[in-house]
Amino acid sequence: MRLPPLEVTILIFMLGICLGSFLNVVITRLPVMLMNQWRSEARSALELAHEQPPRFNLALPHSLCPRCEHPIAWHDNLPLIGWIKRRGRCAHCQGRISLQYPLIELSGGLLALAVLLLHGLSTTSLFIYGACLALLALAVIDFRTYLLPDILTLPLLWAGLLYHLLFQPYMLSSAVIGAMGGYLVLWSFFWLFKLITGKEGMGYGDFKLLAALGAWLGWSLLPLLLILSAGLGAIIGIIAQALHPHLRGTPLPFGPFLAIAGWICLLVGNELLALYVSFAA
């Protein structure tokens, strides 16, 4: 593939880190917004007095220090630059700002470069990059809160079907089967595990996330996706428990491993499958 001009590459990377900065807002605020909504619905169902919490959404309040809640100046809020300039500390209270923020911003830029280099500059690349960003948000939210919000997983599923309808209509039936198969595989595993152990091995959000990935990848890549995600989960789980014994017995969210495997399959899945077939033959 012919490499894009350097200035285009730099521009795409900068746009990627800006989108990564917005993704930080989604990752941090969406779970709180959902909790507020569920609390309001619970109070309504119990016929309790309605609360009027302060406005809290993706736009308001403006960026604040998570420790002292002092407003962050615009120049300290520039993606990557602001965190590096302040050495990861609040300009007002000198409290540490989580490393999550620059890492998500950098990930947004690197994913943009990966899509650009592997798929070129096209409308299909925009769709694929959007899916990669959604997976990044879902992975971090699940890691932090054990939640995979429907507001992200379900649009991701429909976007996958729309992608095939617009650009690869010959793959649409494979995508539909992939969505159904992805959901049913983990749903079956969930109930089998529960019948054997009496415990729940995963949540319903994992079913929906795998269904969404099945819609994007088609049924033929589901086995590779499951092998990669299960393998990553096992390796990282063993290493984490070896380094931190207190984590033994603590459940690990499966969403981040599905997301990482999803990135791999979205970007180079067909190439990996062709490589496997050539070796097997």
Bridge partners (DSSP) of residue 71 are 64
> pLDDT at position 42, please?
87
* Interacting residues of 106 by C-beta distance below 8 A, sequence separation 6+: 17, 20, 80
Q: What is the pLDDT along the chain (281 residues), one digit of tens a residue?
A: 566 888 899 999 999 999 999 999 999 999 999 998 888 888 888 888 877 777 888 888 888 887 887 888 877 788 898 888 878 888 878 888 889 999 999 999 999 999 999 998 999 999 999 999 999 999 999 999 999 999 999 999 999 999 999 999 999 999 999 999 999 999 999 999 889 988 887 889 999 999 999 999 999 999 999 999 999 998 988 888 888 887 777 788 999 999 999 999 999 988 888 887 777 66
- Among 54, 67, 31, 248, smallest CA distance to 148 is for 31
Q: Report pTM.
A: 0.93
> pLDDT at position 1, please?
56
> pLDDT at position 242, please?
83
> pLDDT at position 25, please?
94
> pLDDT at position 174, please?
96
> pLDDT at position 281, please?
61
Q: Are 229 and 135 in contact (CB under 8 A)?
A: no
Q: Sign (positive/negative) of CA torsion 240, 242, 245, 249?
A: positive
Kindly report the number of other CB atoms within 10 A of residue 92's CB atom. Answer: 16
- Among 275, 258, 182, 184, smallest CA distance to 220 is for 182
Q: Are 25 and 58 in contact (CB under 8 A)?
A: yes
> pLDDT at position 2, please?
64
Q: Are 132 and 163 in contact (CB under 8 A)?
A: no
> pLDDT at position 280, please?
66
Dist. CA 104–CA 101, nearest whole Å: 5
Structure tokens at 121: 């500059």
Give kind and range of the element (H or E) at residue 227.
helix 222-243
